[in-house]
């Protein structure tokens, strides 16, 4: 009898221990304002060897879209799995808990389930560079530990070259390429802290978030990354041709961009724009190098087979296409950004063309880690696409919305073939682009009678997602 009891005790102990050992870690890597001008997405110029390395381990999502192309609402949506309308968050204001006091954030879910949850750098919204080194709009309930480094990109702002007059660095065309080490910069410090945490927490389950500030303006990276992109290799679209792309779009689609258009800023020359584009690419490769340091740390600590790795950006970015710069637009260049997911037990080196959304990451990570997620999440787990990247069962579209004022807002739906956008539910105009033959969204087909059935069909699909609260809309 005693022997049987002892045997049962040992078996139970082994079972509990094994269960703890089987918990998968999460490495959650964020870039800021990074579009898909990346080698890993087929760009022949922009070097991303470490994102290439990550993609070989997992699935690259080629049609991934944000919920709103603005840092604050996009990041709040990612971290809650809820759309901006549900959160009632459409600006950069610090109001997540004020408006949603009981929400369970992604890091909080892992924390509630016995994980060590920590971040370094920008996960929720930060003014860049004004709030670097602070907690900014962070949510303390998400984390056990927070780290706010400030490198020379913050402490030596006076050395940054500014192309646009009268604007702060947080919305600027400005750059600096000092002869410096990676670790002198904020993003290098972010990587160093996460590397240290990987080593320190390798024997317990963790949710570690590395929030890189690049390539958000001002575009600052060590000179060695600038040297990878000789200016003669950097081209800009012809402005006369670019202007033609916007002749058939509703005014509301670009109302924030026309005051000093092109490039959003007054008196910026084409040569200055080329220099900023070079700097943006340098920043992308700088971020890629920090991703490599994180992957090396996982390998060196024997954690690669125990860790789910996600790389994402909060939205896309214009670099002169259509004469535009910056974000906050419903076009593909602004709404689309990279997502790469690598998880133990799934094949690597695959890509998916299915439309997915940033808010799908919350249910995906909960699913892969075996955690019970809140029942109100508005995304879906990407597990089916990690198993079969072209699964015919995945039919969910991607929804991106724009909110400027109660009198200026719109919604855009992206399917595998079409992007359809309504401004004030169509009262201020519509856009329809056929991505089968027009990936740059040059020709608006919304008013072409040949496509009236497509407009009607997509409008009906979009309607259930339009849930802007009454105080945020004045469209009558």
**Catalytic site positions:** 71, 125
Q: Which helix (H) or strand (E) holds 335?
A: helix 332-335
Q: Give the single-character DSSP code of 36.
A: S
Say if residue 60 is exposed, middle or buried (CB neighbours under 10 Å; 0-12, 13-18, 19+).
buried
Nearest to 330 by CA among 398, 228, 410: 410
Query: In whole angstroms, what is the distance from residue 156 CA to residue 177 CA?
Result: 12
* Alpha-helix runs per DSSP H in 350-402: 361-369, 383-387
Q: How far apart are CA 136 and CA 141, in angstroms?
A: 14
Helix (H, G, I), strand (E, B), or coil: what is residue 423?
A: strand
Joined together, the tokens standing for residue 162 give: 């500014």
Q: Do the beta carbons of residue 143 and residue 111 sit within 8 Å?
A: yes
- Tell me how far apart the alpha carbons of residues 212 and 51 are, in angstroms, rounded to a whole number: 14
What strands lie across the sheet with 430-434, from one edge to the other? Answer: 398-405, 408-414, 418-423, 430-434
Q: Which residues pair with 410 in a beta bridge?
A: 402, 423
Q: 353, 63 in Cβ contact below 8 A?
A: yes
Distance of alpha carbon 164 from alpha carbon 276, whole angstroms = 11
């Amino acid at each position: 009898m005693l022997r049987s009891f002892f045997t049962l005790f040992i078996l139970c102990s082994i079972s509990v221990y094994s269960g703890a050992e089987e918990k998968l870690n999460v490495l959650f890597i964020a870039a800021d304002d990074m579009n898909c001008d990346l080698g890993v997405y087929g760009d022949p110029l922009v070097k991303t060897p470490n994102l290439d390395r990550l993609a070989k381990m997992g699935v690259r999502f080629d049609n991934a879209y944000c919920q709103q192309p603005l840092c604050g609402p996009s990041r709040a949506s990612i971290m809650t799995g809820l759309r901006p309308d549900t959160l009632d968050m459409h600006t950069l204001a610090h109001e997540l808990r004020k408006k949603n006091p009981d929400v369970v954030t992604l890091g909080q879910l892992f924390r509630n389930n016995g994980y060590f949850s920590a971040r370094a750098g920008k996960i929720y919204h930060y003014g860049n560079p004004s709030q670097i080194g602070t907690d900014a709009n962070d949510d303390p309930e998400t984390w056990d530990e927070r780290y706010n480094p400030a490198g020379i990109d913050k402490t030596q702002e006076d050395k940054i070259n500014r192309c646009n007059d009268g604007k702060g660095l947080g919305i600027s065309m400005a750059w600096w390429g000092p002869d410096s080490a990676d670790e002198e910069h904020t993003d290098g410090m972010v990587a160093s802290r996460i590397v240290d945490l990987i080593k320190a927490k390798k024997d317990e389950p963790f949710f570690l978030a590395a929030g890189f500030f690049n390539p958000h303006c001002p575009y600052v990276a060590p000179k060695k990354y600038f040297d990878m992109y000789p200016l003669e290799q950097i081209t800009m679209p012809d402005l006369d041709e670019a202007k033609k792309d916007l002749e058939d779009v509703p005014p509301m689609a670009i109302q924030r961009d026309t005051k000093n258009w092109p490039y959003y800023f007054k008196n910026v020359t084409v040569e200055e724009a080329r220099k900023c584009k070079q700097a943006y690419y340098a920043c992308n490769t700088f971020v890629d190098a920090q991703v490599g340091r994180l992957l090396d740390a996982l390998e060196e600590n024997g954690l690669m087979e125990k860790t789910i790795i996600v790389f994402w950006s909060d939205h896309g970015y214009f670099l002169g296409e259509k004469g535009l710069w910056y974000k906050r637009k419903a076009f593909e260049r602004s709404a689309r950004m990279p997502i790469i997911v690598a998880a133990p037990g799934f094949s690597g080196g695959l890509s998916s063309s299915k439309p997915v959304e940033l808010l799908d990451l919350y249910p995906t990570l909960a699913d892969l880690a075996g955690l019970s997620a809140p029942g109100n999440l508005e995304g879906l787990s990407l597990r089916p696409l990690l198993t079969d990247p072209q699964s015919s069962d995945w039919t969910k579209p991607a929804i991106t919305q724009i909110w400027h004022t109660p009198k200026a807002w719109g919604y855009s739906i992206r399917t595998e073939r079409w992007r359809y956008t309504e401004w004030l539910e169509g009262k201020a105009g519509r856009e329809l682009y056929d991505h089968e033959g027009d990936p740059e969204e040059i020709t608006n087909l919304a008013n072409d009678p040949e496509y009236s059935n497509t407009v009607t069909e997509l409008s009906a699909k979009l309607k259930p997602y339009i849930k802007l609260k009454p105080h945020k809309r004045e469209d009558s």
